[in-house]
């Protein structure tokens, strides 16, 4: 075995990890452990951040009013997690069907009630909300505030941002790679 470039023989590294007679050798030769770990982490991340709107536990919303000031300000991003609701929690909920504004989302503090119907109010409001969302209407309990994060998310969803990022991605993919071009020319020279 020479292992020289241009020959059909390849260099074999010594070690049992490449031996097909063992399970680990079989896995090492057929599966890329780094790719397997990466795929597992991506699947776990997707399961963790599966949106509450699709039956998951994770939610993210931009504050679009002043009813929760000074706790949350206009443009803040709020991370929510679906779980048990207690009096004093700030929750994200959908206005129950059959009420004015139905299917819109509201983020307010729980001031009373129970799972059958929570009483809520904004921190910057003197009055209770006219809705009493049940636990099935609650999309999540707030866990994290990202100041001005909602405005960044809104910018990222704009058509201009998407088109600029998409254009840059196409440009990077289509941009010629000098190393690949030099390798191709070298192979053509070797064949000649």
Query: Where do the domains of the chain lie?
Result: 53-148, 158-192
Condensed to tens digits (0 to 9), the pLDDT of residues 16-44 reads 555 666 776 666 666 676 777 888 888 88
Helix, strand, coil shares of the chain as percentages rounded to 5?
Answer: 35, 20, 40
How far, in Å, CA of 160 to CA of 167, rounded?
Answer: 10
pLDDT exceeds cutoff 60 at 10: no
What pLDDT, in 10s, does the model give residues 61-92? 889 889 999 999 988 989 898 889 999 999 99
Give 53-148's CATH code, choosing from 1.20.140.150, 2.10.109.10, 3.40.710.10, 3.40.309.10: 2.10.109.10
Tell whether pTM > 0.75. Answer: no
pLDDT (0 to 100) of residue 96: 84
* Residue with token string 């983020």: 107
What are 187's two structure tokens?
Answer: 């192979």
| Mean predicted lDDT score pLDDT of the chain | 80
As beta bridge partners, residue 90 has 109
Sign of the torsion formed by the C-alpha atoms of 139, 144, 148 and 153: negative
Helix (H, G, I), strand (E, B) or coil at 15: coil
């Amino acid at each position: 075995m020479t292992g020289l470039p241009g020959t059909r023989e390849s260099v074999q590294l010594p070690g049992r990890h490449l031996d097909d007679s063992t399970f680990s050798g079989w896995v090492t030769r057929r599966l890329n452990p780094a790719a397997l770990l990466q795929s597992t982490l991506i699947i776990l991340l997707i399961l963790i951040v599966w949106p509450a709107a699709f039956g998951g536990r994770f939610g993210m919303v931009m504050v679009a009013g002043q009813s929760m000031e000074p706790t949350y300000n206009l443009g803040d991003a709020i991370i929510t997690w679906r779980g048990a609701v207690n009096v004093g929690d700030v929750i994200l909920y959908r206005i129950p069907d059959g009420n004015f504004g139905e299917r819109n989302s509201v983020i307010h503090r729980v001031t009373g009630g129970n799972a059958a119907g929570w009483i809520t109010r904004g921190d910057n409001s003197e009055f209770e909300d006219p809705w009493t969302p049940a636990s099935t209407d609650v999309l999540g309990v707030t866990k994290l505030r990202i100041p001005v994060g909602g405005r960044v998310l809104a910018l990222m969803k704009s058509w201009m941002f998407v088109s600029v990022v998409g254009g840059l991605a196409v440009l990077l993919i289509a941009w010629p790679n000098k190393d690949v071009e030099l390798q191709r020319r070298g192979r053509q020279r070797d064949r000649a």
